[in-house]
Chain A
Amino acid sequence: MDLKEQIIEQIPRLRRFARYLARDADHADDLVQETLIRALGALPQLDPEGNLRAWLFTILQNVLRGEWRRRRRSPVRHDIDADGVPEPSQKGGQFESATLAELAGAIRRLPPRFREVLMLCGVEGFDYEEAAAVLGVPVGTIRSRLSRARAMLKEWSSE
């Protein structure tokens, strides 16, 4: 598989991750588009033996962080709920069952720092070291945020 195909293969994962960290699905796709543009521009710097998935997610993470910094400087938005967590619009038919929809809602209520770790480790299957590299934090921080994210989810869950 050539590099282009390998990148294309990661797009659905990038979109899925972005959807839970962005304002809504359209905004998520804008962020992924920006990520791809940056990635294509930075290809010469990519280590061919390296971890392409982690590299792409790191770029997406940088794009997201840039967005959050800009949002903090901008005036109050009305599409953000009281907790400061945006309510994304959901494209229809995205979830197989009510319990998965409940889980999606719970994930969106998590503070962003916990949500991103849960998405990376719990959904994307990154190991702690990979997630630490993507987010630029120590492994210990990944472990504690993951643990707290799961504890919050468990508390909110009806199961």
Chain B
Amino acid sequence: MTERPIITDADLQDYIEGRLDVPARARVEARLAAEPRLAEEVERLRRQAVKLQEFGKKALEEPIPKDMLDLIEKFGRR
């Protein structure tokens, strides 16, 4: 008889947030394989997490406003 790994809500959250190491991920995925409905919900949340990371990347490419750069420049020149 195969052992079911004990997976906590915190484990599921860490999995969704992409914070688990490979062995821990494998344990969670093994557990999810046995519970398709939970697996589907977790997968939706995980996809949302990935999308959220993509989101806002455009904002990082924007040039920094001159007055912000000037502020730091002026400070350094004392």
Contact = CB atoms under 8 A, between A and B. Distances in A.
B60 A123 contact: no
B59 A12 contact: yes
B26 to A, nearest CB: 21
Interface string A146-159: 11001001100101
Interface of A: 4, 7-8, 11-13, 15-16, 19, 29, 32-33, 36-37, 40, 94-96, 99-100, 103-104, 118, 121-123, 125, 127, 143, 146-147, 150, 153-154, 157, 159
B68 interface: yes
A11 B64 CA distance: 7
A12 B47 CA distance: 25
Interface string B3-28: 00000011001001101000000000
Contact of A150 (B16, B58, B72, B73): B16
B53 A123 contact: yes
B53 A122 contact: yes
Contacts of B36: none
B47 A33 contact: no
A95 B58 contact: yes
B72 A19 contact: no
B45 A154 contact: yes
Given A4-B72, A154-B44, A159-B44, A123 B13 contact: no
